[in-house]
Structure 1
Amino acid sequence: MASSSSSSSNRLRVGYAFPPNKERNVIRPSLVDYAKLHGVDLVRIDIQTPLLHQGPFHCIIHKLYDDAWAEHLQDFASKNPDVVVVDRPDLIAQLYDRVSMLDVVSQVKVSDSGVRIEVPKQIVLKQEDGEIDSIRDLDVKFPVIAKPLASDGSAKSHEMSLVFNRRGLKDLETPVLLQEFVNHGGVMFKVYVAGEESVCVKRKSLPDVTETEEELEKKPDGAMKFSQISRAEEKSEKCDGAEKKAAAEKEEEIEMPPEKIVREVSNGLKEAMGIRLFNFDMIRDGNGTYYVIDINYLPGFAVLPEYEQFLTKFFKEVAEKKKKKVEEDDSAIEDGKAKPRCCCFQ
């Protein structure tokens, strides 16, 4: 039986289920070795074999998108209520839709009244040509970033473009999400969250767009894919070392968000979504307003420095919280103050 309660070992067994390409970005040998050294055994789940025939597990982490997996996990969780599932598939699913993904940002509150946390204006461009007029109707201005509606980890979900004018809309595959581009100094803040902990790193982003709307309207290329923008930047950097150096210095000058802001936004999103392993992309405009522009479930944590410690600590905290909750529930049951635990996702 897969229940962790039958295990007499003090070691934690964490089962993981990932597509191969995603597994490489999280479950690296360095993490397996570090976790093992600190009492955590990472065990690959065979998705071709029923979960009930595997284990025992204390915790399961996963990043599979199909409904069949969600059903298997639901069945397993109902029969093994002491195993912590991180996280519930129905909660993770809210991040697969870019239209509603950022709705939770409105629930985030920060203690500094002078700091604003917002989402860029965005609309969905549908197949009907008349929808193009809705851009001005909703006060969304060029340039805009065109993003596929689905954020399901597929190659297609990462195909994005920076659109400068109406001509650039005609070549887009609809329906598509149009998100107003906010100048942010060419720097993005990527925040990685694992339970109570969060880490913010600074990354290069799209450069500011300085042209006026009239100038953008005259651009012969109405849109550029992100891959094209990257190649153009590489070519420019090779040709002009001085500009490259100036851009690097400008990026270095941009300050990181205060730790308090990072912590409060991380906790606010975690509580609003009900999930514990994710990251979000945040930018800051020239007026100091922060914009959350994307949220991803169980991202490639391996890009973080010392990510092995970061995730191992999370696994141990999850198990410790579960153990404490079980002890409290058992104590309450003995005192006649609570009903026995029900079988559900944790």
Structure 2
Amino acid sequence: MQTFGRGKRVGYWLSEKKIKKLNFLTFVDMCRKRGIEMVQLDLSQPLEEQGPLDAIIHKLTDHIVEADQNITEALLLVQSVQEYIDAHPETVILDPLPAIRTLLDRFKSYTLIHKIEESMKDDRICSPSFMVLSNECGPDMLEQLHVNGITFPFICKTQVAHGTNSHEMAIIFSEEDLKDIRPPCVIQSFINHNAVLYKVFVVGEAYSVVERPSIRNFPSGPTDRRAISFNSHHVSKAESSSHLTSRENLEGQCRTPSNDVIQKISRCLRQTLGVSLFGIDIIINNQTGQHAVIDINAFPGYEGVPEFFDDLLAHLTNILQDHLPGGPLRVNGVAQSLPVACEVSCGSCWVIDSEGMKKDSHQGLSCCNSDLAPKYQHHCRSTLAAEAPSQ
């Protein structure tokens, strides 16, 4: 058995709910068998006293959201974690806090996706138009929608992409229902996609695709249909079956995701943000066949990905191996010796500076089966090694 991580110390912090849901202690045992010491961090105590740490795995999303709401306790906690990170640049962070902040804000993450798409110049990708609505709809609302390229129907989502409320959404079909919009929120054009959602779960240099139910097709343009409220988490469960997820009115093309497109999108997100644990929600436009990214999630639940711990351990092992003396310079496990394939300037105060975000093009993200059948819970997995050119 390979033991590249032997003698290394990895700190981790997840909520008790997340630990139980993932059965994360199983992963802790897997690491210990590889000689990696796993340290459950106590954020109420100084991290300096719990080090040294070669890497930190965390999901601090609750605390980051509260810190952004100026809750004092959360502000101090997040600040103390960031201070430890700044004082120990040799410690690998899965994932950087500024990058997590970007993914927690739908307006910022959608802006990032559109910038990535512009840099990719790939006609197979066209994510929906969007805008942020901070106040109640005014008399110029229709003009705002027009200026931002948004047409009826459209979806309203909370701007914060975390927590129970983040799954509560509404579809607006006409001007009459604009009064039902509850700001602040992000408005996103609805794209018919034949009621199929593809959830891409990325773990370092591997990803899995899981097919899930989604919202059914609706006629384009304004209609007299009343606004529909729904919980996206319930709708996209593997066993979900309701009138909202009906596939009886399929139209146009019924395509499956392109391996190459998923590679490009995932790689660019890794390169731009420096993240390793994230999910991408993709739908296929049933008229154009184009891929549309409709959401990005930090450290998702990885439901339907039985190999999650194997992929995470492989990624962690690679990171620890690369930190051996003489190893290549890496940021979150990604080598820095090759030119950057996707550079996106995000200009956001939440995004890591450009030097900290650059990654290389060796990550040939790929899917093991390009002919995914429309069967819910279909699971497709691949590592990047087979696609990656030699360095």
Question: Is TM (by shorter chain) over 0.5?
Answer: yes
Question: Using the alignment, how far apart are the partners of 2:175 and 2:131 within structure 1?
Answer: 14
How does 1:1-346 map onto structure 2 within 5 Å?
A: 10-26=6-22, 28-64=24-60, 65=64, 66=67, 67-108=75-116, 115-125=123-133, 126-133=135-142, 134-151=144-161, 153-209=162-218, 211-213=219-221, 216=223, 218-219=224-225, 221-226=226-231, 230=235, 234=241, 254=254, 256-286=256-286, 287-323=288-324
Question: Using the alignment, how far apart are the partners of 2:38 and 2:266 within structure 1?
Answer: 26
TM-score w.r.t. the length of structure 1 is 0.77
Task: Tell which structure's C-alpha radius of gyration is larger.
Answer: 1
Contact 2:155 2:169 in 1 (8 A): yes
Long gaps (5+) in structure 2: 68-74, 331-354, 358-391
AA of the residue aligned to 1:85: I
The alpha carbon displacement at 1:236 in A equals 5.1
The alpha carbon displacement at 1:186 in A equals 0.9
AA of the residue aligned to 1:60: I
The alpha carbon displacement at 1:180 in A equals 0.4
Long gaps (5+) in structure 1: 1-8, 238-242, 330-343
AA of the residue aligned to 2:103: L
Question: What SS class does the counterpart of residue 213 from structure 1 fall into?
Answer: coil
Contact 2:131 2:187 in 1 (8 A): yes
Superposition RMSD in Å: 3.5
The alpha carbon displacement at 1:128 in A equals 4.5
Question: Using the alignment, how far apart are the partners of 2:176 and 2:41 within structure 1?
Answer: 48
- Which structure's relative contact order is higher, taking Cα pairs within 8 Å and 6+ residues apart? 1
Using a 3 Å threshold, how does the CA distance of structure 1 residues 202 and 41 change in structure 2: closer, same or farther?
farther
Q: Which has the higher helix share?
A: 1
The alpha carbon displacement at 1:283 in A equals 1.0
TM-score w.r.t. the length of structure 2 is 0.69
Contact 2:197 2:214 in 1 (8 A): yes
Question: What SS class does the counterpart of residue 130 from structure 1 fall into?
Answer: coil
1:269-296 C-alpha deviation (Å, 9 max, x unpaired): 1112222221111111121211111111
1:56-91 C-alpha deviation (Å, 9 max, x unpaired): 422102221133233212322244333212222122
Range moving further from structure 2, 309-318 or 108-117: 108-117
Contact 1:19 1:63 in 2 (8 A): yes
Question: Using the alignment, how far apart are the partners of 2:313 and 2:57 within structure 1?
Answer: 12
The alpha carbon displacement at 1:54 in A equals 1.1
Using a 3 Å threshold, how does the CA distance of structure 1 residues 324 and 275 change in structure 2: closer, same or farther?
farther
Question: Using the alignment, how far apart are the partners of 1:283 and 1:14 within structure 2?
Answer: 36
1:292-338 C-alpha deviation (Å, 9 max, x unpaired): 11111111135412111011111111212233566779xxxxxxxxx
1:188-243 C-alpha deviation (Å, 9 max, x unpaired): 1111222222222211111111x3535x2x22x32322379959x74659xxxxx9
Percent identical = 26
Give 2:369's aligned residue.
none
AA of the residue aligned to 2:231: F
AA of the residue aligned to 1:28: F
Contact 2:214 2:235 in 1 (8 A): no
Contact 2:14 2:59 in 1 (8 A): yes
Range moving further from structure 2, 281-290 or 315-324: 315-324
1:141-163 C-alpha deviation (Å, 9 max, x unpaired): 11111001122x22222221122
Using a 3 Å threshold, how does the CA distance of structure 1 residues 129 and 118 change in structure 2: closer, same or farther?
same
Question: Using the alignment, how far apart are the partners of 2:254 and 2:138 within structure 1?
Answer: 41
Contact 1:105 1:117 in 2 (8 A): no
Q: How many residues align?
A: 310
